[in-house]
Structure 1
Amino acid sequence: MSAPERIPPRSVTTAELLAQGELKVRGRIREASNAVLYCSVSYEGREAFCVYKPVAGERPLWDFPDGTLAQREVAAYEVSEATGWGLVPTTVLRDGPYGEGMCQLWIEALPDASPESELLALVDGEEPGEGWKAIGFAEVGEGQTALLVHADDVRLRRLAVLDAVINNADRKGGHLLPGREGRLYGIDHGVTFNAENKLRTLLWGWAGEALTPEAVDVLGSLRDGLAPGGPLATRLAELITAAEVDATRARVSALLAAGKHPEPSGEWPAIPWPPV
């Protein structure tokens, strides 16, 4: 008699781990404006660290409906996944110790001294220099100014496209996390998907420049997914309002029609404060 076939154990996905695992609060990130809890999560033998942002800990905002920031964080992850760029850590909506909230995989960023983390800089003069893109002038004290620049980096350029799609109103330098193996992640996407234009970002270096062929292909795929009844439109409808889904669809179409990165509208502060 032959030995019974051994079935290998099923591999737990990161999304399953975050959504179904046991969540234990280990501490609080006090610099955040809303409640942000550092947690461990374990499920079927797999463990990880994560960030848990309960809806109950969200501070009201005048221009976003109350209690919707967690859903917007998940929606940003869904759009990121649809691009294929993987720019947002795995993010789910789940129940936790303090009620429903967003749960996102914790990313161990590279040390500040690593060359991979050199994404932003202040430079003297009026030109950014080779390998950099100008953002604008910033006060550095004692009446002095310096040119704020970001790296001319394909990963940042992809993130700039994602921000334009999700209408990110708060892309600060501190929301950029260089990860292992050359990865770059964007975090803190609670103030996104507003139906009105609210794009505020440090990544204006490509404003008015032609979109890359890669970006055009990705936007075309997003347009298909956002068509009424499409998979991305259906998923986003579970997280944001119908008007916000329509606005997202319109932004993608506008980017494709223009064929270039957006420019500041002048109707809304273009750079978040504080910028970092």
Structure 2
Amino acid sequence: SQRSLVLNVNNAEQEWLPIPGDYRDSVACDLSADGKAVTGYVIGRDPPRMLPCVWEKSAAGWRAEVLGTTYLENPLLTTASVVISDSGKLIAVSLVKSRVDGFPRYALYVYRRQSGGDPEGANRGTDAAQQGWQIEHVLPRAVHLAGINDEGLIAGRILEQNRRVAVLVNANTKSMQTLLPDGYTNSRATGINRQGIVVGVADNGRMGMGEKLAFAWLNGKFLDLKLPADVTSSVINGISAEGRMAGMIEHTIESSYDEPTYVNSAVIIEAATESANSNPQ
């Protein structure tokens, strides 16, 4: 079986997350800022099940709660992820909404912790509804998720006309905006922070191949990342709460050969500044 764990990089301590009930496998996808709430999914075999799950830590240890869904089988969980906000009060997930001629139709949902929910309670039941988790329909389509913040802003990507496009979804207004830098055909979001800065990557190739452009977006504008002039390709893989970004750049170096020599380097990019390049989509 496959089982999830939490690793403390400060002391290398490992904590195995419990598998609830008669489920056989579990996968962890994301965790809250304090490390006390983890989201992922669990898999059962009889009957076949794949459902979102949240693990929360209290004085009594880790407790697993399977979140309620319309259908027991939600195969998109394996690629679309289950993300949680920094406070641990919002969870986003793409689930099966209906079936047409045997084929699943997906939608984006959030689970909101209600004011009556008690993450520290030692005697909680196993039903997520009893813990104040309320499911809410957001969009009538699936989103492959990169993150959600406490304001209900969700970053991810959708498949549109056979291309990947980064999106920012507002769970409160049930609206979606596409993020695609000028001159590029594909994009995907890789993270969002508490300020609502969305980071990601754009490219013109198939399946993410070819030259890449890292981007950061806030309030309708792409931000100036101030990368070195010799950068030929760039990627941002994540962003901190304060706006510090981590990624990779490909740049040229002097060489004795006629052709330029390209080198990949890991980079940390400080908080970006606004650019004049807005996205009207």
TM-score range, shorter chain: under 0.3
- What TM-score do the two structures reach when normalised by structure 1? 0.23
Structure 1 or 2: more strand by fraction: 2
- TM-score normalised by the chain length of structure 2: 0.23
Pick the structure with more helix per residue.
1
